[in-house]
Amino acid sequence: MVRAQWQLRVLLALLPFVAACSSALGGSASRGRPIPLLPPPEPVLGPQAPADDPVDALIATSDTHFRAGQQALDAGHFEAAKQEFNQAIDVLLESPFGGRADSRVRERFDWLVDRISAYEIKALAQGDGFTEKPYEPASIDDLLALSSTFGEPAPAAGLAGAVRSDLDHVVHDIPIPLNDRVLSYIELFQGRLHDFIQEGMQRGSRYLPMIQSVFRAEGLPLDLAYVPLIESAFKPNALSRARAKGVWQFMAATARENGLHTDWYVDERSDPQKATVAAAKYLKTLSGLFDGDWHLALASYNGGPGRVQKAIKRARSTDFWTLAEKPRVLPRETRAYVPMILAAIVIARNPTQYGFELTTEPPQPYDKVTLPQAVDLRRIAEWADTTVDAIQALNPELRRWTTPVKAESYELKVPFGTGDAVLERIAETSGEDLVTLNWYTAKKGDTLSTIARKLRVSRTDLAEANYLKTGARVRIGDKLIVPREATPLMAAATEQPAPPAEVRPTVDAAGALAEDAVSDRVKITYRIRQGDTLFSVARLFKTTVDALRSWNPRLPAPTRLMAGLRITVYRPAN
């Protein structure tokens, strides 16, 4: 029973990786697929083994818990995953056979530990909750590239008459000229790009009521609500090659000028409602610059007002279509952009006329909760019984898996009907358990550059995570947030005594390895034997895999080691 207890302690010391692992292995395919779940080793049955072998039943029960843990991990529910993984091991350790006595139980036990280790290795390689979320390519890049590659297709016979009839019955609040350039893009959107336009309109239907409400309040033409169909296909996480972002594809400088906030934790360009308010402000400004000419205003939305003003001066004309006929006056992208927008408006205002069938999607309902401090989105997802992806979809302005660290409060959207439950869990959870943060205290001679090198993080990330400029000075005693999960490679720079026996605390507050103080250890060299793994060596010397890796930074990643390899170990002195 003593052996079973220290085996369980080692497992508990291993499981803090789950918080990091869930960020790297979240449920979204865009974030990277989870490690494939290898089939468990088949039980070795003797020829006289009964059909209801109790060892088989025991292993099946353990496997059920392990698979439940993996499913919880995929959903970002790291606390639930930890409990299931613990239970998968407990079933084996607390069985009448013992965790190591029966060969099949022993094989299953080693397999479980190796799989959990694989999750840890992948999590440390891919980052944690401080890793920025993935973005989607902005549609504007591909559309403009397509127009350059294939040109503007000749309109089909009869298209001009059909569009003229449509324009006679649908009242537009910006001018729609019936020229070949607009017709050619209507032709393109009906044909080669039909599915793209349909998907964009479908997605946009959940945002259009909000956009039209904002534009109506600002006195703007409602036709402009369809600009995002071309800019981003109404994707809040769209990112262009030029680093424009969000539904309205704002560049960072233009976003700041129009009231949007951006920092290491938040980018309001990705919030459809806040970005729409900013877009209304910017479009009104552009309209004023060009005396209410919306064709010139749209051209400047794409190419910049300065470039359009220079084009007007050079060509001595204030008519966009005249400017568009002169290749050296306006860039190709801007010359294509305006007729593209107008063609999208024509189709979106009367989609059935042009062969599109749409089912509108209502806006997703939600509750709002005010957070008193930073909270890990994985905890929110678990408390709301949903996934991290769902929480991020409701809060697209959040760049990472945590709310802003230094904000006095933050208003977070959660699925409708879950707000009270989330607030109740927050109230009963201690502040330090709401988000996992690692801190570094500046010492004499430290600069952002030297600290970043010690911690093996980007200097820019280190500065921005702490709301500092990259050239800012740090003073002795300043506490800095380390913008990623602590790993053994960072151990020398953290505030643990060197050499570190445990980089991160164990799951339990008391700490299963609390007695494992470095000061009570003796340095030795251990020669790897056939069949050794990092876990078996860690168990032998009553330490952790993290500690072994920190003492031996060049250790190979796999858990199975080559016989004869010599490693440094700090064994207990007594």
DSSP letter at 519 equals G
* Confidence bin at 19 (pLDDT 50/70/90): very low
Q: DSSP letter string over 530-545?
A: TT-BHHHHHHHTT--H
Start-end of H helices in 151-271: 159-169, 180-190, 194-204, 208-217, 227-231, 252-257
pLDDT at residue 354 above 90?
yes
pLDDT at residue 81 above 90?
no
- The H or E element that residue 299 is part of is helix 294-303
- Which residue ranges form the domains of the chain, and what is each CATH number? 2-126 (no CATH), 136-354 (1.10.530.10), 366-434 (no CATH), 495-574 (3.10.350.10)
> Would you state the pLDDT for residue 503?
28
Asked if residue 406 lies in contact with residue 467, where contact means CB atoms within 8 angstroms, the answer is: yes
Candidates 85, 49, 90, 53; CA nearest to 70 is: 85
One-letter amino acid for residue 197 of the chain = I
**Which tokens go with 407?**
């904000």
How crowded is residue 407: how many other Cβ atoms within 10 Å of its Cβ? 15
Start-end of H helices in 395-447: 419-427, 431-434
Is residue 54 classed as helix, strand or coil in its secondary structure? helix
CA angle centred on 146, ends 141 and 147, rounded to 5°: 105
> Would you state the pLDDT for residue 116?
63
Beta strand 521-527 with 479-482 is unpaired
CA 83 to each of CA 80, 88, 96, 485, 492: distance values in angstroms, whole numbers, following the listed order = 5, 9, 22, 21, 31
Burial of residue 381, with CB atoms counted within 10 A of its CB: 0-12 exposed, 13-18 middle, 19 or more buried: buried
User: How many percent of the chain have pLDDT more than 70?
Assistant: 77
> Would you state the pLDDT for residue 564?
72
How crowded is residue 353: how many other Cβ atoms within 10 Å of its Cβ? 15
pLDDT at residue 347 above 70?
yes
Q: What is the mean pLDDT of the chain?
A: 79
Residue 5 vs residue 524, higher pLDDT: 524
Is residue 521 classed as helix, strand or coil in its secondary structure? strand
| C-alpha to C-alpha distance for 218 and 225, rounded to whole angstroms | 12
- The H or E element that residue 463 is part of is helix 459-465
How crowded is residue 54: how many other Cβ atoms within 10 Å of its Cβ? 12
* Confidence bin at 72 (pLDDT 50/70/90): confident
| C-alpha to C-alpha distance for 113 and 342, rounded to whole angstroms | 60
pLDDT digits 0-9 by tens, 149-170: 666 777 888 899 999 999 999 9
Peptide bond into 396 cis (omega under 30): no
> Would you state the pLDDT for residue 77?
65
Handedness of CA 316, 320, 324, 330 (dihedral sign): positive
Is residue 104 classed as helix, strand or coil in its secondary structure? helix
pLDDT digits 0-9 by tens, 20-43: 333 333 333 333 333 333 444 444
pLDDT digits 0-9 by tens, 263-303: 999 999 999 999 999 999 999 999 999 999 999 999 999 99
112-133 exposure pattern, b = at least 16 Cβ within 10 A, e = fewer: bbbbbbbbbbbbbeebbbbbeb
> Would you state the pLDDT for residue 299?
97
* Confidence bin at 207 (pLDDT 50/70/90): very high
Phi and psi dihedrals of 506, rounded to 5?
-75, 175
Taking residues 473-495, report their average pLDDT. 63
* Confidence bin at 502 (pLDDT 50/70/90): very low
| C-alpha to C-alpha distance for 522 and 526, rounded to whole angstroms | 12
> Would you state the pLDDT for residue 544?
77
DSSP letter at 174 equals S
| C-alpha to C-alpha distance for 87 and 70, rounded to whole angstroms | 13
Beta strand 238-239 with 136-137 is parallel
pLDDT at residue 504 above 60?
no
* Confidence bin at 387 (pLDDT 50/70/90): confident
Taking residues 421-436, report their average pLDDT. 86
What's the N-to-C CA distance of the chain in angstroms? 21
**Which tokens go with 200?**
């964009």
| C-alpha to C-alpha distance for 477 and 466, rounded to whole angstroms | 14
CA 382 to each of CA 2, 31, 70, 201, 370: distance values in angstroms, whole numbers, following the listed order = 35, 19, 14, 32, 17
